[in-house]
Structure 1
Amino acid sequence: MSAASKEPAGGAKLLIDLGPLIVFFAVNFLAPVPGIAKIFIATGAFMVAMVAAMIYSAVRFRSVSPLLWFSGIMVVVLGGLTLWLHDETFIKLKPTIYYWFVAALLGFGLWKDKPLLKSVLGSAYPGLSEEGWRKLTRNWALFFLFMGVLNELVWRNSSTDFWVGFKLWGAIPLTFLFAAANLPMLLKHGLNAEDKAQPAEPGPIE
């Protein structure tokens, strides 16, 4: 793969995918304002950090992944509505929309017998069989469907501070644990463990 089309990997991928979320959590925790006002300041910082991540990806790797585009547009639009209307509901809905959109996209690909993760993560899983790709795509589709439901249950039945804590201490660890839990299945279906010992996850964590 040429340098002009190089995909983010390792630390750069984590910076792009997790950097904006880290900014969101840090600002929400450190903002010197009381109560609900923190979420609005954190949302503004989240928007700036997401745009910065997209610019970094475009400049450094000469590309912005479709999922990063989708996530970035949602952050700007729903974050903008959150600030404009002074209503945190919109930023809380953002993970649900993202999770269910990706789940629907992956499910549609399976229905068409085209596991879409293969086109996104092909280089991350060398040697994986077609059956492995189908199972991996199915697993992530179900996981994202579940995470959307979980996000809805949390934000509709808890405080804003609890929801932010859930995103940090619940959603992110669950995503990495789920990615790791798929490794035995991947090895069974041909993954070259010598080339790729660590499982990848399919997009920005919401």
Structure 2
Amino acid sequence: MALLFEYLPLILFFVVYKAVDIFWATGVLIIAAIVQLVYYKVSTGKIETRHWIFAGIAVVLGGMTLAFHDEQFIQWKVSIIYALLGLSILFGKLLFKTNLVEKALMGLFSSVQKEQEVEINIPNAIFNQLLVLWVFLFLSIAVLNLYVAFNYSLDTWVNFKVFGLMGITFIAIVFTMFKVYKFLPEEQ
């Protein structure tokens, strides 16, 4: 259910775009992003940085899309978010010597470690390979989004944004799990 709520603004954007147009869809995206922030604040007492960033970009670029009646602003949103993600991972490693991919994965695996009382030891080389993969992937998606947005129809871009990016991300997640699977404890 939490995953569905995470993607709710995207789902609503797609449905309203198909039913009405890009401008209504953008308005719904802005409202859904704000409602999502309120929900996280009420339900957990805090709002994670990524939710602030996603909502902020949706409000600013969505607002510009509506104010100027120009869909190009909302089309930039995907590229800005993915470029920020890729650069955050890259600069986290270069400037702060922190592998954010490792932190994210180990955060996911922490419940497994506690439940099975085992330690998960994944070599740094694997985490570094995954870091390069995710930086390359995020920066490539940022560029690919702009290419699709400015070389194809609005319908093609919306479909790419919803289905293409989800498909690319799913493949990358499967590859990531494949790389770390042999280091995970076997089920009892």
Q: 1:53 aligns to what?
A: 36
Computed over aligned residues only, the root mean square deviation of the Cα atoms, in angstroms, reads 1.9
User: How far did residue 130 of structure 1 move?
Assistant: 5.5
Does residue 75 (structure 1) correspond to residue 86 (structure 2)? The answer is no
Mark the CA change 1:194 to 1:23 in structure 2 (over 3 Å): closer, same or farther.
Answer: farther
Q: 1:199 aligns to what?
A: none
Mark the CA change 1:30 to 1:192 in structure 2 (over 3 Å): closer, same or farther.
Answer: farther
Q: 1:29 aligns to what?
A: 18
User: How far did residue 69 of structure 1 move?
Assistant: 1.1
Does residue 116 (structure 1) correspond to residue 100 (structure 2)? The answer is yes
Alpha-carbon distance between aligned partners in 2 of 1:193 and 1:68, rounded to the nearest angstrom = 34
Q: Is the 8 A contact 1:40 1:82 kept in 2?
A: yes
Instruction: Give the alignment partner of residue 142 of structure 1, picking from 136, 145, 149.
Output: 136
Secondary structure in structure 2 of the residue aligned to 1:182: helix
Q: Percent identity?
A: 33
Q: Is the 8 A contact 1:125 1:192 kept in 2?
A: no
TM-score (ref. length: structure 1): 0.79
Which runs of 5 or more structure 1 residues have no equivalent in the other structure? 1-10, 32-37, 196-206
Secondary structure in structure 1 of the residue aligned to 2:46: coil
User: How far did residue 187 of structure 1 move?
Assistant: 1.9
Q: 1:20 aligns to what?
A: 9
TM-score (ref. length: structure 2): 0.86
Alpha-carbon distance between aligned partners in 2 of 1:140 and 1:194, rounded to the nearest angstrom = 28
Q: Is the 8 A contact 1:128 1:192 kept in 2?
A: no
Mark the CA change 1:95 to 1:118 in structure 2 (over 3 Å): closer, same or farther.
Answer: same
Q: 2:114 aligns to what?
A: none
User: How far did residue 89 of structure 1 move?
Assistant: 0.7
Counterpart of 2:107, as a letter, is S
Instruction: Give the alignment partner of residue 172 of structure 2, picking from 178, 183, 193.
Output: 178
- Greater CA drift, 57-66 or 45-54: 57-66
Which runs of 5 or more structure 2 residues have no equivalent in the other structure? 111-119
Listed one character per residue, the Cα deviations across residues 155-195 of structure 1 (whole Å, up to 9, x for unaligned) are 0101111100111221111111211111121124x334649
- Greater CA drift, 17-26 or 48-57: 48-57
Counterpart of 1:76, as a letter, is V
Counterpart of 1:54, as a letter, is L
Counterpart of 1:41, as a letter, is W
Bigger-Rg structure (1/2): 2
Listed one character per residue, the Cα deviations across residues 113-161 of structure 1 (whole Å, up to 9, x for unaligned) are 2112344443203425351433333221111011111101100101111
Does residue 104 (structure 1) correspond to residue 90 (structure 2)? The answer is no
**Number of equivalences:** 177
Listed one character per residue, the Cα deviations across residues 21-72 of structure 1 (whole Å, up to 9, x for unaligned) are 00000101112xxxxxx10000000000111111111211222221111111
Q: Is the 8 A contact 1:39 1:88 kept in 2?
A: yes
Q: 1:129 aligns to what?
A: 122
Higher helix share: 2
Alpha-carbon distance between aligned partners in 1 of 2:181 and 2:128, rounded to the nearest angstrom = 14
Q: 1:165 aligns to what?
A: 159
Q: 1:191 aligns to what?
A: 184
Alpha-carbon distance between aligned partners in 2 of 1:63 and 1:121, rounded to the nearest angstrom = 22
Alpha-carbon distance between aligned partners in 2 of 1:138 and 1:70, rounded to the nearest angstrom = 23
